[in-house]
Amino acid sequence: MRKRDLAILMLSAFAIFFSLQHEGDLSFKEAWFHLSEEYPIKYEAERLPPPIVSDLNGDGKKEVLVATHDAKIQVLEPHSRRVDEGFSEARLLAEVSLLPDKIRIVSGRRAVAMATGVIDRNYNHREPRKQVLVVVTSGWSVMCFDHNLKKLWEVNLQEDFPHNAHHREIAISVSNYTVKHGDSGLVIIGGRMEMQPHMYIDPFEEIEMAEKSAEQHRRSAAEKEVNIHAV
């Protein structure tokens, strides 16, 4: 064996030994924190979705999106610099309310799932790829916001589920695939639900469901009356 081959073999063995000795070493240092109001959670359905880390505006800096119990989504800026003196509070960049414009009732508007993704079919790597935020609420409302937290659209899926049904698990997929010509993206909502006992229903949510049911009956009766006159 040549001296050069022996030196390469010894160097490789030392590199393997060194990598195995330091495999899995992690260290954590204080960086930032964010305070939120504590709410007693009686049922699992009241738990908020976990925060997500995403680059909404495509500037190369990550933001942290946090849901609150008062039906808001907050965008936080984590500290990019090294902090040696302990934790420091994260800066609040923006927040958006999930409440309707006219009716300021929190019931049914609390976020239960959220996700971000790119819907624009932009393949130019020089341009920033801006993302959208999709939020599903406890009242089965699906809302989509742009990178500036401006609402793009909202749809309610309450009619597709039986009465007293509440979410158990919800998953959101956001992509730039299109199903029909002219679409600007695709949002898929999947989940698992379970029937909730009548005693656990929020009274405001029950009133809202009753009003929606009455409105559906009135529309159905009006359509039947129009059909009878048409015949």
193-213 b/e with 16+ CB inside 10 Å = b?
eeebeeeeeeeebeebbeeee
pLDDT reading at 225 higher than 70 = no
The first and second tokens of residue 220, run together, are 């159905």
What is the residue type of 108? G
Least Cα distance to 56 among 155, 145, 181 occurs for 145
Q: What pLDDT is attached to residue 230? A: 43
Question: How far is Cα 193 from Cα 140, in angstroms, rounded to an integer?
Answer: 11
pTM (global) more than 0.85: no
List, for residues 87-139, the tens digit of each pLDDT value: 778 888 999 999 987 776 777 888 999 999 998 876 677 778 899 999 999 88
Q: How far is CA 26 from CA 23, 51, 68, 165, 167, in A?
A: 9, 22, 31, 44, 37
Neighbours of 49 (CB within 10 A): 18
Least Cα distance to 149 among 72, 68, 35 occurs for 72
Average pLDDT over residues 43-51: 78
List, for residues 130-183, the tens digit of each pLDDT value: 999 999 998 889 999 999 999 999 998 888 777 777 777 889 999 988 888 888
3-state secondary structure of 211: helix
Q: Where are the domains of the chain?
A: 32-195
Q: What pLDDT is attached to residue 82? A: 57
The first and second tokens of residue 177, run together, are 């695939």
Supply angle C-alpha 60, 73, 109, rounded to 5: 150
Location of structure tokens 């009455």:
214
Question: How far is Cα 54 from Cα 158, in angstroms, rounded to an integer?
Answer: 29
Q: How far is CA 56 from CA 98, 117, 120, in A?
A: 18, 8, 13
41 or 166: which carries more pLDDT confidence?
Answer: 166
- Decide: 131 and 56 in contact? Cβ < 8 Å: yes
Q: What pLDDT is attached to residue 151? A: 94
Question: How far is Cα 156 from Cα 93, in angstroms, rounded to an integer?
Answer: 28
Is residue 114 classed exposed, middle or buried when 0-12, 13-18 and 19+ CB atoms within 10 A define those classes?
buried
pLDDT reading at 44 higher than 70 = no
Q: What pLDDT is attached to residue 224? A: 47
61 or 223: which carries more pLDDT confidence?
Answer: 61
Pairing verdict, β 111-117 and 132-137: antiparallel
What is the residue type of 197? P
The first and second tokens of residue 178, run together, are 């299109």
Q: What pLDDT is attached to residue 2? A: 67
